[in-house]
Amino acid sequence: MASIRLEGVSKAFGAVQALRPTSLEVSDAEFFTFLGPSGCGKTTLLRLVAGLEEPTSGEIYIGERCVTRLKPKDRDLAMVFQNYALYPHMTVRENLAFPLEAKHLPRGEIQARIEEVARRLELAGLLDRRPRQLSGGQQQRVALGRAIVRNPRAFLMDEPLSNLDAKLRIQMRGELKRLQKDLGITTLYVTHDQEEAMTMSDRIAVLREGAVQQCGSPEEIYRRPRNRWVGEFVGTPPMNVFEATAERRGGAVVLRAIAAPSVRFPSPIPEPPEKLLVGIRPEHILIHRAPLPDALPGRVHVVEPVGDCSIIAIRTDAGLVNVKAAVEELPEMDEVVYLTALAGKLHLFARETGERIGP
Amino acid sequence: MGFQDRGVGAALVAPALLLLAVMLLLPQAHALVLSLFEEGRFVGLKHYRALFAGADPVRPIGNTLAFTAASVSTSLILGFGIAVLLDRRRRAQRLVRSLAIAPFVIPPIVGAFSWKMMLDPNFGVLNYFLTFLGVPMGRIEWLSDPRLAMASVVLTDVWMNTPFVMLVVLAGLQALPRSPFEAAAIDGASGWLVLRRVLLPLLAPSLLVAAIFRTVFALREFATIWVMTQGGPVNATYVLSMDVYRPLFLYAREGYSAAVGFVMLVLTFTLTLPLMVRLYRVSIARA
Amino acid sequence: MTVARAAGGHLLYLLFFVWTLFPIVWLLLTSLKTRLDAFSIPPVWLFVPTLKNYGQILWISEVARAFVNSLVVSATSTLLVLLLAVMGGYAYSRFEFPGKRASAFVLLVTRMFPPVVIVPSMFRLLRATGLYDSLGLLTLLYASFTVSFSVWMMKAFFDEIPCHIEEAALVDGYSRPGAFWRVTLPIAAPGVVATAIFTFVLAWNEFLFAFMFTSQRAKTAPVEFVGIILRETGVEWHLMAAGACLLMLPTLALSWVIHRYFVRGLGLGAVKG
């Protein structure tokens, strides 16, 4: 029950800059996710907040208290580790009691809290077992229980769902989100799975090579990626990006793909730079069976039905284009098709820096 | 983990290192100095020359090398054979692991005594068995015949240490991937070919470890031989460690004794340095 | 063909077991025989076992005291080594500190030192200081030649405990020493027991140092036992066998407890990678 604030926090391991100076604020009761590929510094960030690593520079605040130099035990946080880190020599009950014993709570209260958590997480029948006698999903719930039992100021979760099988992971995603909202405890969540981040978070910080690329609500990050990398990282299949030139034709500005000059898009902004990158999400491309003016012709490479829709990869002059479409009649492999983009769904990025141009 | 507190780590290992330095390293350095002196006078390499020149009729270096070569090679072959035989037979393995390590874990002097008893020419059970089986050799003086004593001592040492080799090889076998053997079987390779071209190369690290550990301990052997022959008869089993002991305790030839010890050290290190470097790479440098 | 092969295999096992266990079984049998039976040829297989030899051997010269000495020296050096090994093993497993690699290498290398090398200089020192024939010195010597491998063994056990578990305890509100006592050490308990047993057995079996550095007061059981064997007069196999059994039974029992850890204890696990 506290906000968390980072002010210019950085971390270097020897010559390796794991985290560049980062400032951000997570508000009370928020579900905040650090998203990024492995090695992007997201786990380092979490460990810095936990106090398991000492920052090279910067200050960390929990609530109004500066905790930068506090030991982990004095920060009153709870952490869920990727491999759960349950104490193998203790029963589930002892695992749950362990953080409470550190606080020297009276025995009766410890008992009561354990009962309550066990009820909430359906652990009641497992209390006298040891971790190795539990399934992966049960271990995960115990780890979660150990975090919530002490009613901490914030939860830190390091890829807590990544060791579960796909079905359970999706189920737990919902459970976890619900639990967090019920408890109203600030949560820092680390994952490399963008779907997880998108579905669970209030806000997401996308990290790459130790630097925050963008920080915002899932919708914002999806709709308005701040640069090409975020655009490509978030969303499956990834965004299609072409190099393009802008030219004035009559009264309008038109963007033309360099590799396929026949393709033209109306520019969403009045004065684009002469050379730029155009990004289009797979679901914003339409497939036509008959030739159309300004359309990009291509040959179907592979079709992957995923149930309600299909992912179609198409070879074009502009490279392999991914399209996500709910087509009634799927094109055949090697069929020639014509692609157009939905108006108003283009993302423009600067050619050199990859930064977003326009709204 | 973020355990960077340099002081704490160093303080935790310091007592162990201190103990080693005071009890092992310093005396060793002192021994090196002693080996160059005689009754307070500097004599250079005199003691080393005496050891190598063999002015004595005694040949401790030769005996040690013979003992080591025979014991190590025999125990390696036996231990390897038994381990391969036992591989994949889980139940037999469990039995072996719990029971057959006995010769290796009991005090060496106890094993040596048991063999000494069994090898007794008059009342020993071994001579009795041989007679019983109709071997026409009569009363064999296993330990008092200079031509047989070394072989008898080696036999005892092999008995004690074969379980060690077997355990190491078994562990190596269990860590082996199954696929090369399955591939070889599908390729129609004969058992012999599989042994030579697949099993031996894959097991080489384990065998090397076993060989080197065995060598280190054979080179320093004292207790077993002391119990069985005390270096006799006619010095037939007089090895280097006895050549440290006897001159020192019987003739107070401290310098010579130290020189012999130092030669043992050098011998041990020349033979084990490759393993040490390897062990170091695998277990320390990795971190 | 396969039947013959299986039979051949079983015969080999049988031979192997006889070869391995016969000398030990023979010792046990002899220890239960009367003097007459012990020396009879052909050997007596069926006899009325007696425990009288065990009672008798303990009354011979200083055998009982030697056993007490052995127990004291082995137990004390084990406790000392255990303390050093838990500290050192934990440090090598978890901490970075200057000289870590160099000292680890020294630790590894000293395992290979033939103990007899230090005898000449130690002998002189002991004579000069009057520490010759003392249990305390023997304890220190045993500790020093088992400490490097014990540190190594404990390191291996600590290495197997994921750091995350300890970190979880730190976040759960424990200090680092608290996390070590409540979490890391209990999880490493089997390793501590295994290390202790190894150290104890090595000390219990030790002969060379005890033989060379004790004469009366501090004589250990192996030294006393070998003294009796090598005394020319009055060979009494039945009594000696009883003594031998008393010497070997503790090590047999203890190593049976930890036979699972054997290869690792020898420090060979590290080579598998």
* Tens of pLDDT, residues C131-140: 899 999 999 9
- Look up residue A82 and give its amino acid: Q
Using 50, 70 and 90 to split pLDDT, how confident is the model at C234? low
In this prediction, what percent of chain A has a pLDDT beyond 90?
A: 74
Q: How far apart are CA A40 and CA A54, in angstroms?
A: 18
Answer yes or no: do A83 and C186 touch at CB < 8 A: no
Answer yes or no: do B245 and C116 touch at CB < 8 A: yes
Does B10 reside within a domain? no
Q: Which of A183-187, A201-205, B194-198, C47-51 has the lowest mean pLDDT?
A: B194-198
Of B27, B22, B16, B23, give the one whose Cα is nearest residue C104. Answer: B16
Query: Which pLDDT value is given to residue A188?
Result: 96
- Torsion sign, CA atoms A33, A36, A37, A40: negative
- Torsion sign, CA atoms C137, C138, C139, C142: positive
Q: How many helices (H) and strands (E) does chain A have?
A: 8, 21
Does C28 reside within a domain? no
Neighbours of A229 (CB within 10 A): 16
Best C74, C122, C228, C268 member to test B by mutation, with max B CBs in 10 Å, is C268
Domain that includes residue C140, residue range: 52-264
Rounded to an integer, the average pLDDT of A38-44 is 91
Q: How far apart are CA C169 and CA A88, in angstroms?
A: 12
Please tell me the pTM assigned to this model.
Answer: 0.87
CA distance, residue A92 to nearest chain C CA (Å): 14
User: Residue B234 belongs to a domain with what CATH number?
Assistant: 1.10.3720.10
Does C21 reside within a domain? no
C-contacting chains (≥3 CB pairs under 8 Å): A, B
Answer yes or no: do C170 and A81 touch at CB < 8 A: no
Does B98 reside within a domain? yes
Give the orientation angle of helix C2-31 with respect to helix B60-86, to 10 degrees: 130
Rounded to an integer, the average pLDDT of C228-253 is 86
Does C16 reside within a domain? no
Question: Is the pLDDT reported for residue A334 higher than 80?
Answer: yes
Q: How far apart are CA A32 and CA A217, in angstroms?
A: 9
CA distance, residue B83 to nearest chain C CA (Å): 11
In chain A the domains, ranked by start, together with CATH numbers, are 4-232 (3.40.50.300), 233-350 (2.40.50.140)
Rounded to an integer, the average pLDDT of C18-27 is 93
- Pull the structure tokens for residue B41: 């006078």
Does B266 reside within a domain? yes
Mean of all residue pLDDT scores within chain C: 87
Query: Which pLDDT value is given to residue C270?
Result: 39
Of A43, A40, A48, A61, give the one whose Cα is nearest residue A11. Answer: A48
Using CB atoms, pick whichever of C87, C201, C252 lies closest to residue B102: C252
Report pLDDT digits (tens) over B9-65: 899 999 999 999 999 999 999 999 999 998 888 888 888 888 887 655 568 889 999
Instruction: Transcribe A140-187 into DSSP letters.
Output: HHHHHHHHHTT--SEEEEESTTTTS-HHHHHHHHHHHHHHHHHHT-EE
Answer yes or no: do B162 and C270 touch at CB < 8 A: no
Best A47, A80, A81 member to test C by mutation, with max C CBs in 10 Å, is A81
Whether chain A has a CB inside 8 Å of the CB on B1: the answer is yes
Report pLDDT digits (tens) over A82-97: 999 999 999 999 999 9
Question: Is the pLDDT reported for residue C268 higher than 70?
Answer: no
Query: Which pLDDT value is given to residue C263?
Result: 65
- How high is the ipTM of this complex? 0.91
C109: burial class by Cβ within 10 Å (0-12, 13-18, 19+)?
middle
Question: Is the pLDDT reported for residue A349 higher than 90?
Answer: yes
- Degrees to nearest 5, angle at CA B19 with B15 and B22: 135
Give the residue carrying structure tokens 């590929």.
A37
Does C39 reside within a domain? no
Element (H, E) at A337: strand A336-341
Give the orientation angle of helix C221-230 with respect to helix C63-94, to 10 degrees: 140
Q: Which residue has the higher pLDDT, C258 or A62?
A: A62
Domain that includes residue B177, residue range: 55-286
Does C82 reside within a domain? yes
Whether chain A has a CB inside 8 Å of the CB on C174: the answer is yes
Q: How far apart are CA B143 and CA B233, in angstroms?
A: 8
Does C270 reside within a domain? no
Which chain B residue's Cα is nearest to C9? B85
Which chain C residue's Cα is nearest to A97? C172
CA distance, residue C212 to nearest chain A CA (Å): 45
Q: Which of A35-49, A105-119, A227-241, B135-149 has the lowest mean pLDDT?
A: B135-149
Does B8 reside within a domain? no
Neighbours of C15 (CB within 10 A): 11
Answer yes or no: do C23 and B111 touch at CB < 8 A: yes
Question: Taking chain B (287 residues) in consecutive chunks of 10 residues, what is each chunk's mean pLDDT?
Answer: 67 93 91 89 87 71 93 95 78 75 93 93 85 77 89 96 89 82 80 81 83 91 94 88 92 91 91 73 55
Does C59 reside within a domain? yes
Q: Are A221 and A206 in contact (CB under 8 A)?
A: yes
Q: How many folded domains does chain B comprise? A: 1
A positions 149-178 inside 8 Å of C (CB): 150, 156
User: Residue C84 belongs to a domain with what CATH number?
Assistant: 1.10.3720.10
Whether chain B has a CB inside 8 Å of the CB on A11: the answer is no
Rounded to an integer, the average pLDDT of A194-207 is 94
Q: Give the sheet arrangement for strand A310-316, strand by strand.
A: A285-288, A336-341, A296-305, A310-316, A319-325
Query: Which pLDDT value is given to residue A233?
Result: 94
Does C139 reside within a domain? yes
Using 50, 70 and 90 to split pLDDT, how confident is the model at C272? very low
Does B218 reside within a domain? yes
Chain C residues in contact with A14 by the CB 8 A cut-off are: none
Q: How far apart are CA C101 and CA B35, in angstroms?
A: 31
Q: How many folded domains does chain C comprise? A: 1
Whether chain A has a CB inside 8 Å of the CB on C171: the answer is yes
Q: How far apart are CA B33 and CA C149, in angstroms?
A: 27
Using CB atoms, pick whichever of C40, C107, C112 lies closest to residue B269: C112
Alpha helices in B87-222 (DSSP H): 90-95, 102-105, 108-118, 125-132, 146-175, 179-186, 191-194, 200-219
Query: How many inter-chain contacts (A to C, CB under 8 Å) are there?
Result: 66
Query: Which pLDDT value is given to residue B224?
Result: 95
Whether chain A has a CB inside 8 Å of the CB on C65: the answer is no
Rounded to an integer, the average pLDDT of A336-340 is 91
Query: Which pLDDT value is given to residue B56?
Result: 57
Q: Which residue has the higher pLDDT, A344 or C69?
A: C69
Q: Which residue has the higher pLDDT, C5 or A10?
A: A10
Of C148, C91, C133, C108, give the one whose Cα is nearest residue B23. Answer: C148
Best C166, C172, C175, C185 member to test A by mutation, with max A CBs in 10 Å, is C172
B285: burial class by Cβ within 10 Å (0-12, 13-18, 19+)?
exposed
Q: Are C87 and B15 in contact (CB under 8 A)?
A: yes
Give the orientation angle of helix B200-219 with respect to helix B254-280, to 10 degrees: 160
